Amino acid sequence: MKEIVDFLHNPQKYQEIGASMPKGALLVGPPGTGKTLLAKAVAGEAEVPFFSISGSEFVEMFVGMGAAKVRDLFKQANEKAPCIVFIDEIDTIGKKRDNGGMGGNDEREQTLNQLLTEMDGFDGSKGVVILAATNRPDSLDPALLRPGRFDRRVPVELPDLAGREAILKVHAKKVKLGDNIDFNAIARAASGASGAELANMVNEAALRAVRDGRKFVTQADLEESIEVVIAGYQKKNKVLSDKEKLIVSYHEIGHALVAALQTNSAPVTKITIIPRTSGALGYTMQVDEGERNLMSKEEIENKIATYTGGRVAEELIFHSITTGASNDIEQATKLARAMITRYGMSEEFGMVALETVSNQYLGGDTSLACSQDTAKEIDQKMIETVKTQYEKATKLLSENMAKLHELAKYLYEKETITGEEFMQILNS
């Protein structure tokens, strides 16, 4: 991106050596990571005119209109060169061409063909740079991605730990902060959040400060706002009966204990049994010490065991099970399946991919790519994996029954406890 800016500032040093500038750069990444923002920043730095248009603006009811708009856009750009043309959500018009469908589909293809022709036709040395953004790069037409059109693919990924900290500081400049705010702790807890979500967290913290009648934002506001973005607001009007509250406290302590008793699992930072608007009746928050990019087989297995811990605690204490574990079950099943189908962590199948992932930036839907017999085997392996971890969690909790009772009782009275309190009781 810096190179593009540099080229627009002083093209002659590139022309002397005979290098031509990439005509287009495609920004790909999940929603909310700042693709549009980056394009605006490039235009601002380069101090050139910036034409911004969204892919959907080309899509018209009448055949030929979209193509005419593309021609018009490039004509304007050529007159104003050097400049930057930015097409947002390019997958609207840049989808792979196929022979199916009539009418509306023809119009989209004409628009795409016109875009391809224009990108080939204009003179690169004039300094018209085309930037486009999408979060569905896999659905784009291969002709758009060939060298000479969108030569560069710039991944705008979710920010890492240092990135999150820096983004939080940028957004925090707009709000009044109290003393000694630890942005690093907030960034660690908000693992996997996009730039837009981090901005939302800072705003939620400011709103909470106003609600409590304070003039500045405290660390507690920021911590609570992470939970609001992850799990929704506290539901003040949802009152659990004493019996339910007791079940939820044992359930949450079950998760936390299993996590703490296993090596290789993220430390517990907070446990709460206050219902949230997302439907959760309580939750256990675990935060890794540093940034994590890889997970070992043992860690995934431990994670599955932690997910089963809640249900195990219910069964051990109340000898009956409730619907409270539905989300845990979903997560544990997902992990167990991924271990076998995507990460090649089973002895039977070894390093064979049995699943394909589409739309990796938009939730990543998966579809099985194997025969029915294999699918049956995968299901069996998956059930075995989860059962093994369930048994491991049962063993861990049975051996530490006294701590389970003590912690659950403490949580029941306090409703929210921190990781430090939890570890103190556990180690006492």
Are residue 120 and residue 204 in the same domain, yes or no? no
Sign of CA dihedral 396, 400, 401, 406: negative
Are residue 394 and residue 260 in the same domain, yes or no? yes
First vs last C-alpha separation in the chain = 55
- Candidate from 141-150, 233-242, 312-321, 344-353 with smallest mean pLDDT: 233-242
- Mean pLDDT, residues 65-89: 90
Exposed, middle or buried by CB within 10 Å (0-12, 13-18, 19+), for 375? middle
What's the CATH code of the domain at 131?
Answer: 3.40.50.300
Query: Residue 236: inside a domain, yes or no?
Result: no
pLDDT bucket at 122, cuts 50 / 70 / 90: low
The percent of residues in the chain predicted with pLDDT above 90, rounded, is: 53
DSSP codes joined into one string, 202-226: HHHHHHHHHHTT-SSB-HHHHHHHH
Are residue 42 and residue 72 in the same domain, yes or no? yes
pLDDT bucket at 125, cuts 50 / 70 / 90: low
Query: Residue 186: inside a domain, yes or no?
Result: yes
Across the chain, what does the average pLDDT equal?
89
| Model confidence pLDDT, tens digit, residues 343-401 | 999 998 989 988 888 888 877 788 888 899 999 999 999 999 999 999 999 999 999 99
Q: Report CA dihedral (32, 35, 39, 40) to the nearest 10 degrees.
A: 0
Are residue 169 and residue 270 in the same domain, yes or no? no
CA 96 – CA 216 distance, rounded (Å): 51
- Name the residue type at position 108: R
Q: Which two tokens stand for residue 89?
A: 């959500």
For strands 150-155 and 24-28, give the pairing: parallel
Are residue 293 and residue 410 in the same domain, yes or no? yes
pLDDT at 93: 87
Domain range for residue 225? Answer: 161-231
Dihedrals phi, psi of 409, to nearest 5 degrees:
-65, -45
For strands 416-418 and 268-272, give the pairing: antiparallel
Tell me how far CA of residue 99 lies from CA of 108, 120, 143, in angstroms: 12, 24, 16
pLDDT at 123: 67
- Name the residue type at position 169: K
Are residue 221 and residue 257 in the same domain, yes or no? no
Of the three residues 199, 231, 263, the one that is the final residue of a domain is 231
pLDDT at 280: 85
Q: Which two tokens stand for residue 394?
A: 């049962």
Please count the structural domains in the chain. Answer: 3
Exposed, middle or buried by CB within 10 Å (0-12, 13-18, 19+), for 275? buried
What's the CATH code of the domain at 250?
Answer: 1.20.58.760
CA 189 – CA 227 distance, rounded (Å): 9
- Mean pLDDT, residues 64-83: 88
What's the CATH code of the domain at 201?
Answer: 1.10.8.60
Q: Which two tokens stand for residue 50?
A: 């910036």
pLDDT at 306: 95
With contact defined as beta carbons under 8 Å apart, do 81 and 128 qualify?
Answer: yes
Are residue 341 and residue 417 in the same domain, yes or no? yes
pLDDT at 337 over 60: yes
pLDDT at 111: 87
Which residue, chain included where needed, has tokens 């030569």? 151
181 three-state secondary structure? coil
pLDDT at 105: 58
Instruction: Give the active site residue among 107, 118, 197, 252.
Output: 252
CA 20 – CA 25 distance, rounded (Å): 14
Q: Which two tokens stand for residue 311?
A: 């249900």
Are residue 151 and residue 170 in the same domain, yes or no? no
pLDDT at 99: 65
pLDDT at 55: 87
pLDDT at 102 over 60: no
pLDDT at 291 over 80: no
Considering only CA atoms, which of 261, 200, 274 is closest in space to residue 234?
274
pLDDT at 252 over 90: yes
pLDDT bucket at 100, cuts 50 / 70 / 90: low
Query: Residue 398: inside a domain, yes or no?
Result: yes
With contact defined as beta carbons under 8 Å apart, do 65 and 106 qualify?
Answer: no
Kindly give the residue spans of alpha helices, DSSP state H, lying in 87-218: 104-121, 142-145, 161-172, 183-189, 195-211
Of the three residues 185, 204, 231, the one that is the final residue of a domain is 231
With contact defined as beta carbons under 8 Å apart, do 107 and 63 qualify?
Answer: yes
396 three-state secondary structure? helix
pLDDT at 409: 94
Considering only CA atoms, which of 330, 315, 316, 242 is closest in space to residue 279?
330
- Whole-prediction pTM value? 0.82
Are residue 255 and residue 277 in the same domain, yes or no? yes
Of the three residues 127, 155, 183, the one that is the final residue of a domain is 155
- Compute the radius of gyration of the chain from its Cα atoms: 27
CA 264 – CA 303 distance, rounded (Å): 9
Are residue 174 and residue 151 in the same domain, yes or no? no
pLDDT bucket at 147, cuts 50 / 70 / 90: confident
pLDDT bucket at 170, cuts 50 / 70 / 90: very high
pLDDT at 311: 95
Query: Residue 237: inside a domain, yes or no?
Result: no
Top pLDDT among 127 and 212 is at 212
Are residue 76 and residue 131 in the same domain, yes or no? yes
Query: Residue 336: inside a domain, yes or no?
Result: yes
Q: Is 406 a catalytic residue?
A: no
Query: Residue 415: inside a domain, yes or no?
Result: yes
| Model confidence pLDDT, tens digit, residues 254-288 | 999 999 999 877 888 899 998 888 888 888 888 88
| Model confidence pLDDT, tens digit, residues 201-242 | 999 999 999 999 999 999 999 999 988 887 788 887 777 889
- Mean pLDDT, residues 50-77: 87
Are residue 149 and residue 168 in the same domain, yes or no? no
